[in-house]
Amino acid sequence: MSYLEYTVKSVPAGFRKILFLNWPLALLLASVCGIGFLMLYSVAGGSFSPWAEPQMKRFALGLALMITVALIPIWLWRNLSGVAYGVSLLLLIAVAFIGEERKGSQRWIDLGFIDLQPSELMKITLVMFLAAYYDWLPAKKVSRPFWVLLPVLIIILPTVFVLKQPDLGTSILLLTAGGGLMFLAGVHWAYFAAVLTSAIGLITAVFQTRGTDWQLLNDYQYRRIDTFLDPAADPLGAGYHITQSKIALGSGGWTGRGFMQGTQSRLNFLPEKHTDFIFTTLAEEFGFIGGISLLGLYALIIIFCVATAVRNKDRFSSLLTLGIALNFFLFFAVNMSMVMGMAPVVGVPLPLVSYGGSAMLVLLLAFGLVQSAHVHRPR
């Protein structure tokens, strides 16, 4: 049980709730963000602009947001989850029409003070909605076909719009997180086995249709898969990122070259050095020790989330916490696999470290929900 639970038995009220937050988890999140600031300072050549300073401001904003969300009772969030899902879905549809196009895909809505990426929001609200759904659904109905089909539709609908943007990375993340939540809720094994089999079938289909008029992916997406399968084939073109990032990583060695001493990742030829490929800078400058430390922090965050989730007697709370942890895991797992040449370059940022306001704010908001679940757990 929690470290404070033996002394206080009732659910705290008012601003006293702040004392009952999961402070170790908050501290872990802050340390990861701190590593992010350090790296952004380094890739800018030892300067707070243009990345580290705005990122710190957003972190302050995000922290306030997290605490605010945490103070609001979790049952209120549960009741709001349907609305939240609906709003994100509408935003996702809106972005297809009024969104801003950047680098060939339409993902952004300019809200004036921040550029919002509705697909980021959807990652969280999807988990919220599914958690609420399984909280409401009696356990014995969980594996009945109709009650399985419903959440599948809930997952597929936003995924289709995200895929249209086109954003392959996020759509895979949505599918996996949604599927993961269904698994946690106790849907029967057989469904997952069936889906896995058909996924293999689909992948075969994707490759079989290549080059025909009705090919299932864009040319650039096929090329990325090619690059993944054999980066050496085109080292100056498509495979350039991965080759460079592997060299940078590898040259870090055990202890790295030292803070701000990285050469490879700071050569200006790696255009995503402050976003998707920021891990290479960390690994080059702080070596294996640095990389494994970050991974360790991430692992601790996951462990803390799982621990608080399984002890929470409220079904919505534990499902939500586990779902958010899974989402967070998918973020860094996909990003790290990508920079280490184990997955295609799909454009997923390193959570809380990569430069970018939308992702950081949404993640801190999500951890606010985790905190709320923790604070308002039945005692």
Tokens of 84: 């939240």
Helix (H, G, I), strand (E, B) or coil at 352: coil
Among 67, 319, 353, 361, binds another protein (CB under 8 A): 319
Site for another protein in 273-292 (CB under 8 A): 283, 287-288, 291-292
| Binding track over 156-185 against another protein, x by CB under 8 A | ------------------------x--xxx
In the complex, what is the shortest distance from the CB of residue 247 to another protein, in angstroms, rounded to a whole number?
A: 5
* C-alpha–C-alpha distance, residues 370 and 172, integer Å: 23
Q: Measured from the CB of residue 20, what is the shortest distance to another protein in angstroms?
A: 22
Binding mask 81-120 for another protein (x = CB under 8 A): ----------------------x-----------------
Task: Please give the size of the binding site for another protein, defined by CB under 8 A.
Answer: 55
Nearer to another protein, 291 or 356 (CB): 291
Shortest spacing between CB 328 and another protein, in angstroms: 10
Q: Are 91 and 83 in contact (CB under 8 A)?
A: no
- Is the distance from CB of 274 to CB of 359 less than 8 angstroms? no
For another protein, the binding residue among 133, 316, 329, 367 (CB under 8 A) is 329
| CA diameter of the chain | 68
Least distance between another protein and beta carbon 336 (Å): 5
Binders in 20-79 for another protein, by CB under 8 A: 45
Is 318 near another protein (CB under 8 A)?
yes
- Alpha carbon separation from 112 to 90, 115, 116 (Å, rounded): 19, 7, 9
Is there binding between residue 196 and another protein (CB under 8 A)?
Answer: no
Q: Determine how many CB atoms are found less than 10 A away from the CB of residue 210.
A: 14
Q: Which of 107, 266, 274, 374 binds another protein (CB under 8 A)?
A: 266
> How far is Cα 294 from Cα 149, in angstroms, rounded to an integer?
38
CB 279 within 8 A of CB 331: no
Q: Which residues contact 79 (CB under 8 A, 6 or more apart)?
A: none
- For the CA atoms of 79, 84, 89, 92, the dihedral, rounded to the nearest 10 degrees, stands at -170
Q: Which stretch binds another protein (CB under 8 A): 56-64, 144-152, 317-325, 363-371?
A: 317-325
Phi, psi of 163 (to 5 degrees): -65, -30
Distance CA(269)–CA(253), nearest Å, equals: 22
Query: Residue 17 in contact with residue 63, Cβ under 8 Å?
Result: no
x/- site string to another protein, residues 218 to 237, per CB under 8 A? Answer: -----------------xx-
CB-nearer residue toward another protein: 104 or 112: 104
Helix (H, G, I), strand (E, B) or coil at 110: strand
**Residues engaged in binding another protein (CB under 8 A):** 45, 103, 138-140, 180, 183-186, 235-236, 240, 244, 246-254, 263-264, 266-269, 271, 283, 287-288, 291-292, 295, 298-299, 302-303, 306, 309-310, 313, 315, 318-319, 322, 326, 329, 333, 336-337, 340, 342
